[in-house]
Amino acid sequence: MTELDQGTFDEAIAGGPLLVDFWAPWCRPCKALEPILAELPLAVARVNVD
């Protein structure tokens, strides 16, 4: 998974289909989804909203 921030977000979403996971380190459901998202057969990127 790729970590996105303000500087890389626009470029990443312009490259084609992309699943963006908005997450926070304190979010238990976010942490539970991490291994599932890592196994998806498509491009996944993360944005830390904290």
| From 13, 19, 27, 33, the catalytic residue | 27
Closest CA to 13 of 47, 40, 36: 47
Contact 26, 48 (CB under 8 A): no
Of residues 4, 23, 30, 45, which has the active-site annotation?
30
Q: Let me know if 27 is a catalytic residue.
A: yes
Question: Could you give the count of Cα atoms lying within 13 Å of 21 in the half-sphere of its Cβ?
Answer: 23
Q: Is 23 a catalytic residue?
A: no
Q: Which of the residues are catalytic?
A: 27, 30
